[in-house]
Amino acid sequence: MNRLLLAVSICLLTSSLAPAAETDRLPGYVMRAAADPIRKADVNLDERRKGPEIAAFAGIKAGDQILELIPGSGYFTRLFSGIVGRKGHVYAVWPEPYARMAQRDTDALRLLSTRDDYANISVDIQPAAKLSAPRKVDMVFTSQNYHDYPDRFMGPTDPAVLDREAFAVLKPGGVFIVIDHVAPAGSGLSDTETLHRIDPAIVKKQVLAAGFQFVGESDVLRNPADPHTKKVFDPSIRGHTDQFVFKFRKPGSGRHG
């Protein structure tokens, strides 16, 4: 009898856990894009950068128009290209001051966009205080670069200007994804030039002031072991910094929730 009760208990526990495990899975369309053999060079980065998880959190869908701000080496650009497909587009945008320092990246992404596999990518260089696309977009995405805007090499440019530009280029209901390195609480913008970090609270305050709604955050890049006081390039923390992933929405009806 005891063995029977134990077996029933185990079955009930297993069945109660099954729905949670199912909801934790990535959407099939994200998994298929992530598993595409064309990404073989990026797959090894997925565990650290969490691209598929972030794409799912952002709600990227086939046909979406995405403006990716400061794409760097193009890790997210390539993944997003696969998800949005032929009917979607990824507008890779660099602010002009940043592009001067990143010509290798801009040249590499321009070359990539000439390949048939990545024909839905285009590259543009724009003034730091402007943000535009040929059409309204479903998403503006920036990873690890919001903190650069207040720095000397970028003008400096008030990040509040960026937020207003992002708001203007989005469709109603479109989303703004901001990922960046966490600075100590209460530090505001004081560590952007020195540690290349930013206080999440100031980011949220600035973006909300532009008219956005805060709709959630993901903890896939959080690292509680990060002391928040080291430069992000310090070998002891580089590649493993504590990062916030914020999702904001422009009010109005649209595809994203």
Residue 109 lies in a domain: yes
Q: Per residue in 17-30, is it b (16+ CB within 10 Å) or e — as a string?
A: eeeeeeeeeeeebb
Position 16 pLDDT exceeds 60? no
Residue 12 lies in a domain: no
Residue 220 lies in a domain: yes
215 touches 249 (CB < 8 A): yes
The span from the CA of 230 to the CA of 233, in Å, is 8
Label residue 202 exposed, middle or buried (CB < 10 Å: 0-12, 13-18, 19+): buried
Residue 19 lies in a domain: no
Confidence of residue 253 (pLDDT cuts 50, 70, 90): confident
Average pLDDT in the chain: 91
The domain in which residue 85 lies consists of: 27-249
Q: For residue range 43-64, what is the model confidence (pLDDT) as tens digits?
A: 999 999 999 999 999 999 999 9
Number of domains making up the chain: 1
Q: Which uninterrupted H or E stretch holds 214? A: strand 213-218
Residue 85: which of 115, 130, 118 has the closest Cα?
118
Position 2 pLDDT exceeds 50? no
Confidence of residue 4 (pLDDT cuts 50, 70, 90): very low
Q: For residue range 53-108, what is the model confidence (pLDDT) as tens digits?
A: 999 999 999 999 999 999 999 999 999 999 999 999 999 999 999 999 999 999 99
Residue 18 lies in a domain: no
Q: What is the CATH number of the domain that holds 133?
A: 3.40.50.150
Q: For residue range 169-207, what is the model confidence (pLDDT) as tens digits?
A: 999 999 999 999 999 999 999 999 999 999 999 999 999
Cα 241 off chain centre by? 15
Report cis status (omega within 30 of 0) of the bond before 156: yes
Q: For residue range 204-230, what is the model confidence (pLDDT) as tens digits?
A: 999 999 999 999 999 999 999 999 999
Q: Per residue in 80-115, is it b (16+ CB within 10 Å) or e — as a string?
A: bbbbbeeebbbbbbbbebbbeebeebbeebeebbee
pTM of the model: 0.90
Give the pLDDT mean for 110-114.
97
Q: Identify any residues that bridge with 92 across adjacent strands, giving them in sequence order.
A: 68, 123
Question: What is the Cα Rg of the chain in Å?
Answer: 20
